[in-house]
């Protein structure tokens, strides 16, 4: 078990990583001084598994109402938020009431956003149920929804009072959802250092044997929490969490978001390691090991193909730009990220090498 209380931008939260951590929600809420009435917002795929949670809450004198929402990116809309807010009103959730989000990154993003705006902000708990949610989306306090014009264009910073990371939920993930989180876990291992990287290289696909991948859960959660706490406004260190995301995001956007995020990040990491070899002298065996890891997990190792000017058009919209310059996260070695500029010629060469321009 790993547990940490942390402060981000004046808000306080507690993160727990433990088998069975979600069972502690009832005790935590009951001992918090919050009202009894609250709303559990759960992914509808988990509808039959939240019953035990609701019973535990009721047994501690709480009055949880249940509101089911659909997982998947298409649910990150105003309509879903409106549904949650209406359910909160109907459940009699007051200013000292609470929301609890049980689901993947979509549910925690959208329910966290509803908690941020309902009565100008109520306490909420996150019970992430996907690997991506557990190591990334539920941590750090960013909540929000998409607009037709783009992803995550509306949001609020609202730190969950509790994030309960319970690997028990992951047993039912399909391969797409496992790979989605795995891309981020691979990235985190490269940021953490050699031991974490060695563990990633040795892990079989989680649907064959989840234990080695799950052994990295705590390392990944700890890393994100420590980085967010050290740099909540993303002025320096937090930018390193974007390793692999510059090319990964561009590929997702070019594909109209049909390429799953984790798979795009996987090839984005290949691009980052190739640039790191060329610019910083990173040893080439890391890239070869990454190729083997992605291959073993059935993830792509080549980019989709578009003309280079289309790549540049989306790359230049990257949010990590500062003073007109694109900033790349590269690696000197595992555990030593460097945020830097890269000549266009190098980027073009790497996109071509990965099949991006055909
Ligand atoms: N707020 C942040 O800091 C942050 C960071 C990273 C990602 N995100 C967001 O997270 C979202 C992606 O998260 P995600 O991949 O978890 O998506 P998701 O919530 O859509 O879950 C993926 C799929 O898994 C299903 N699912 C959820 N839990 C399950 C379980 N235990 N067993 C079986 N199936 C289950 C869902 O119904 C869905 O079909 C994106 O919208 C992204 O923008 C947010």
Residue 323, pLDDT > 70, answer: no
280 C-alpha to ligand 1 centroid (Å): 34
DSSP letters, 180-226, are HHHHHHHHHHHHH-HHHHHHHHHPPPTTT-HHHHHTTHHHHHHHHHH
Residues 346, 278 share a domain:
yes
| 217/97 same-domain check | no
Q: How far apart are CA 145 and CA 57, in angstroms?
A: 28
Specify whether 45 is located in the same domain as 187. no
Measure the CA–CA gap between 340 and 152, rounded to whole angstroms.
25
Residue 150's pLDDT is 84
70, 126: one domain: yes
Range of the domain at 72: 2-172
* Number of structural domains the chain divides into: 2
Any ligand 1 atom below 6 A from CB of 241: no
**Pocket lining: 72 vs ligand 1, CB cutoff 6 Å:** yes
Give the Å distance between the CA of 143 and the centre of ligand 1. 13
Sequence-distant (6+) residues with CB within 8 A of 176 are 260
CA angle 348/354/355 to nearest 5° reads 90
Residues 204 and 159 in one domain: no
The 10s digit of each residue's pLDDT in 162-203 is 999 999 999 999 999 999 999 999 999 999 999 999 999 999
358 in a structural domain: no
**Residue from 77, 18, 28 nearest 56 by CA:** 28
Question: Separation of 177 CA from ligand 1 center, angstroms?
Answer: 8
Q: How far away, in angstroms, is 128 Cα from ligand 1 center? A: 8
Tell me the pLDDT band of 36, cut-offs 50, 70 and 90.
very high
**Nearest partner of 330 among 342, 343, 339, judged by Cα:** 339
Q: Atom 11 in ligand 1: which residue has the minimum CA distance?
A: 105
Judge whether residue 319 has pLDDT over 70.
Answer: no
- How are beta strands 162-165 and 11-17 bridged, if at all? parallel
- Which residue has its alpha carbon closest to ligand 1 atom 2? 137
Q: Do 126 and 202 belong together in one domain?
A: no
140 lines ligand 1 (CB under 6 A): yes
Asked if residue 160 and residue 30 are part of one domain, the reply reads yes
Going from the Cα of 130 to the center of ligand 1, the distance in angstroms, rounded, reads 6
Quote the ligand 1 centre to 131 CA distance (angstroms): 8
Band the pLDDT of 43: cuts 50, 70, 90.
Answer: very high
Residues 234 and 253 in one domain: yes
Q: Determine contact, residues 274/244, Cβ cutoff 8 Å.
A: no
142 lines ligand 1 (CB under 6 A): yes
Calpha distance 353→339 (Å, rounded): 22
Per the confidence metrics, is the pTM higher than 0.75? yes
DSSP reduced 3-state for 310:
helix
Structure tokens at 96: 């000292």
**Can you state the angle between helices 285-296 and 261-280, rounded to 10 degrees?**
170
Least confident interval from 17-21, 261-265, 284-288, 319-323: 319-323
CB atoms within 10 A of CB 103: 31
Pocket perturbation via mutation, ligand 1, pick of 48, 74, 177 by most ligand atoms within 8 A of CB: 177
CATH code, 323? 1.20.1090.10
User: 28 forms bridges with which residues in the sheet?
Assistant: none
Q: What is the pLDDT of residues 220-235, one digit of tens each?
A: 999 999 999 999 888 8
- In short, whether 103's Cβ falls inside 6 Å of ligand 1 is yes
Q: Which of 137, 171, 262 has most ligand 1 atoms within 8 Å of CB, for mutation?
A: 137
- Give the CATH number for residue 147: 3.40.50.1970
Q: Which residue has the tokens 């610019």?
A: 279
In this structure, the answer to whether residues 147 and 225 fall within a common structural domain is no
CB neighbours of residue 277 within 10 Å: 17
- Position 317 scores a pLDDT of 82
More confident residue, 358 or 186: 186
Q: Are residues 104 and 215 located together in one domain of the fold?
A: no
Between the CA of 138 and the centroid of ligand 1 the distance, in Å, is: 10
């Amino acid at each position: 078990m790993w547990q940490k209380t942390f402060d981000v931008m004046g808000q306080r939260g507690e993160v727990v990583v433990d088998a069975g951590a979600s069972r502690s929600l009832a005790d935590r809420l009951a001992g918090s001084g919050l009202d009894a009435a609250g709303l559990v917002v759960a992914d509808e795929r988990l509808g039959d598994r939240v019953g035990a949670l609701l019973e535990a809450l009721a047994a501690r004198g709480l009055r949880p109402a249940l509101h089911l929402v659909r997982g998947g990116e298409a649910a990150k809309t105003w309509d879903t938020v409106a549904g949650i807010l209406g359910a909160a009103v109907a459940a009699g959730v007051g200013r000292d009431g609470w929301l609890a989000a049980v689901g993947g990154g979509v549910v925690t993003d959208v329910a966290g956003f509803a908690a941020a705006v309902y009565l100008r902000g109520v306490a909420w708990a996150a019970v992430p149920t996907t690997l991506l949610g557990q190591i990334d989306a539920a941590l750090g306090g960013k909540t929000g929804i998409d607009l037709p014009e783009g992803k995550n264009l509306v949001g609020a910073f609202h730190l969950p009072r509790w994030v309960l990371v319970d690997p028990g939920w992951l047993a039912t993930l399909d391969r797409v959802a496992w790979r989605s989180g795995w891309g981020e876990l691979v990235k985190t291992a490269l940021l953490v250092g050699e031991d974490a990287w060695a563990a990633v290289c040795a892990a079989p696909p989680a649907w064959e044997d989840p234990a080695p991948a799950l052994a990295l859960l705590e390392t990944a959660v700890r890393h994100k929490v420590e980085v967010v706490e050290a740099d909540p406004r993303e002025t320096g260190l937090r930018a390193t969490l974007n390793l692999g995301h510059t090319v990964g995001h561009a590929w997702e956007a070019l594909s109209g978001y049909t390429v799953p995020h984790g798979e795009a990040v996987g090839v984005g990491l290949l691009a980052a390691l190739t640039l790191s070899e060329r610019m910083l002298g990173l040893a080439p065996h890391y890239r070869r090991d990454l190729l083997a890891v992605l291959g073993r997990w059935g993830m792509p190792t080549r980019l989709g193909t578009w003309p280079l000017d289309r790549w540049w058009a989306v790359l230049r919209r990257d949010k990590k730009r500062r003073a007109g310059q694109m900033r790349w996260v590269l690696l000197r070695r595992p555990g030593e990220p460097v945020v830097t500029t890269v000549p266009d010629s190098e980027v073009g060469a790497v996109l071509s090498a990965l099949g991006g321009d055909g």
